[in-house]
Amino acid sequence: MEYLNQTSVQELGHQATVIAIKDGDLLAPVANFMKVRTVTWIAAAIPLVLLIYRLLIDRKLQSNFLVRRYHAWRYLFSGPQIIQDAFNKAGGKPFEVLAPDNRYVFVSSLKHIKELDSAPDTVLSLQAASKQMLQPVYTMTGFNWFDRRGTEGVGFVRALRTMLTANLPQILPDLSTIIRTRFEEIHETHPTVDGEKQSEVYHMIVQLVVLSNAVSFFGKDLAKNEQFMVSALAYIEHTLICAEVVRLVPKWLAPIIGGIIAKRLHAHEIIFNTLLPVAQQRIDEKALADLGQQADCIQWIMETSPRANPWNAKRIVHELMAIWFGSVHALSTTITFAIHDLCIHPEYVAPLRQEMEEGYADFEKTGLGLPLVDSFIKESARLTPVESMSTRRHALQPFELSDGTKVNVGDWACTPVRAIMTDPETYPSPNDFNGFRFADPSIVEEVVGGFKTPQEKPSKLTDVGSTFHVWGTGRMACPGRFYAAACMKVLMGQIIMNYDMKLINPEAPRMFTWRSSMLPRPKTKMVFTPRV
């Protein structure tokens, strides 16, 4: 709305100038504009001058202000550790963390988490938080979605949770073949050093996830479109760069900077222009008695859009672009860390390989099973989650927790997911990697034996609960998590069954942080040796 209001003012100013020229009085509008601008600058300068004056004469205020801004900017580079330290000091109570562009209020008790989850979307909004993170106006060809979820329908939830999940038995067999073949092709291009091919594993995994999702979401034809696939790969990085820059510049400068960056990063335009005619064709076919229906996300998003006001092709593509970013970024990071963990804990390779060789065919037919692989990925995600923050809710209205903690308009309420998942009250030996921590003890004993399962009861990677927030919490939990889990098992399966692996330098740092994210270092190298 702020940008729209600025535009309206500019239009009104232009109209006033035209009228003045017609009347032969060029000086009147100019003089009026100068007066308005002078008053505006004075009004804006008064609080700034008073703040500077107070900082100069009040050493305590000066110290507090500078310290708070220092910690806010430090958050960009040390977010996960700052959140962890604050969690440790809070003793289960809500606590705040500052960022340059925001104030975060973290809650960790079950009571407070439920309060966040039950708050109306008009008060605490996940959609508004996502909008601030991704800046879709600049990263998704002008997609300025509403702050409140469901304003235009939530059909995408059914498309991902129900339709995509139900089609896994049709998707997975082809996906396995495609991933195995593409892995071999990528691996063959990597340089040989001292007789071993060395692979930058994160780049490799991102390419495989992009291919997997393109086939699953858009079908094989689009997955063969080289320009589209290159752009689909670049889009993730472009979105992160553009959104971060826009979030950190002053609000009045964001439209200018965002517009400049968007014009220079073309991946989002290529994706949009490629998908738009496909979506329009599907809409036209549906109008002609449902001719040519396809089993992909384009079709499912279209079919689940509001019946009273069906989405047009542009709106469908915008929804697909938002889903695309989330699916590629989280999947790639989670799988890369899981592969790292396989190398760091090689004792798990044999039992996981045995499970794969015995149960992979049944998994392909159902999308279910492989409980040991499931537990291993979940344990990796527990210790190295993509995010140290979850359950993001942007306050559209003032909100107060039951203990009196206030969340002001514009603040975010959230949960410290990584801190919760390494809390010794919930997870015995929380900092120790236990790949079968979440598996059924009877299955572990039957397959391999000798491994501990310290949790009170087994759980699945896709489970959502008060102590595992990788997928979010409650009614807003990720609807695509069943596909994501299956896709991760396909990737892990093809690597485990067909390759031995090792990290070139196991002691080297393998991750870096930005804000609350933990990301694999792109230059981390591995050796994948084909099994005979």
Which residues fall in the annotated binding site for heme?
478
Q: What is residue 164's DSSP assignment?
A: I
Find all residues with CB under 8 Å of 85, minimum gap 6, and list them: none
Q: By CB neighbour count within 10 A (0-12 exposed, 13-18 middle, 19+ buried), where does 155 fall?
A: buried
How many residues in the chain?
Answer: 532
Three-state DSSP state, 255: helix
Q: What is the spatial distance between Cα 460 and Cα 483, in angstroms, rounded to a whole number?
A: 14
CA-closest candidate to residue 334, choices 281, 260, 389, 384: 384
Counting beta carbons within 10 angstroms of the beta carbon of residue 72, is it exposed (0 to 12), middle (13 to 18) or buried (19 or more)?
middle
Q: Where are the beta strands (DSSP E) in 76-209?
A: 95-99, 102-106, 124-125, 192-193, 196-200
Tell me the C-alpha distance between 342 and 203, whole Å. Answer: 18
Q: What is the DSSP string of 430-499?
A: TTS--TTTTS-HHHHHHHT-S----SSS---TT--BTTB-TT--GGGS-TTHHHHHHHHHHHHHHHHHHE
Contact criterion met (CB below 8 Å) for 137 and 113:
no
Q: Nearest Cα to 166, choosing from 64, 289, 299? A: 299
Summarize the annotated binding site as residue ranges. Answer: 478
Q: Are 190 and 198 contacting, i.e. CB atoms less than 8 angstroms apart?
A: yes
